[in-house]
């Protein structure tokens, strides 16, 4: 799985507007395991606008189109389940 240290908004990986970040820490060890953008009002507003635009298409999509999106999401999760499990385990501080 490709390492991402950005936020995904409106179909694009982005940094925070001011390029600040927050360390993601393993709570069991306090070790930094990654960084994420320190998003604020600007990024939140952009994300809300992007969600409204996406919903306009989604609400008119038929059941087959929606099922296709959900099936592709399922495939992506299954294709990356080991890496996702490792990331989530480390993020939660589990052994």
pLDDT digits (tens, 9 = 90+) for 36-56: 999 999 999 999 999 999 999
- CA dist 45 and 94 (Å) reads 34
Taking only the tens place, the pLDDT of each residue in 1-33 is 556 789 999 999 999 999 999 999 999 999 998
- Matching residue, tokens 């970040």: 21
Give me the pLDDT at residue 3, please.
67
**For 34, what's the count of Cα atoms within 13 Å in the CB-facing half-sphere?**
13
Neighbour count for residue 53 (Cβ, 10 Å)? 12
What residues contact residue 21 under an 8 Å CB cut-off, 6+ apart?
A: 5, 15, 35, 36, 37, 38
Query: What pLDDT, on the 0 to 100 scale, is given for residue 2?
Result: 59
Could you tell me the pTM of the whole model?
0.77
């Amino acid at each position: 799985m490709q390492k991402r240290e950005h936020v995904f908004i409106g179909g694009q990986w982005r940094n925070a507007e001011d390029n600040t970040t927050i360390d993601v820490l393993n709570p069991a060890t306090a070790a930094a395991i990654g960084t994420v953008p320190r998003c604020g009002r600007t990024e939140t507003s952009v994300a809300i606008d992007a969600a409204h635009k996406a919903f306009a298409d989604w609400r008119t999509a038929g059941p087959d189109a929606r099922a296709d999106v959900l099936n592709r999401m399922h495939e992506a999760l299954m294709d990356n389940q080991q890496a996702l499990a490792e990331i989530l385990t480390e993020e939660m501080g589990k052994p």
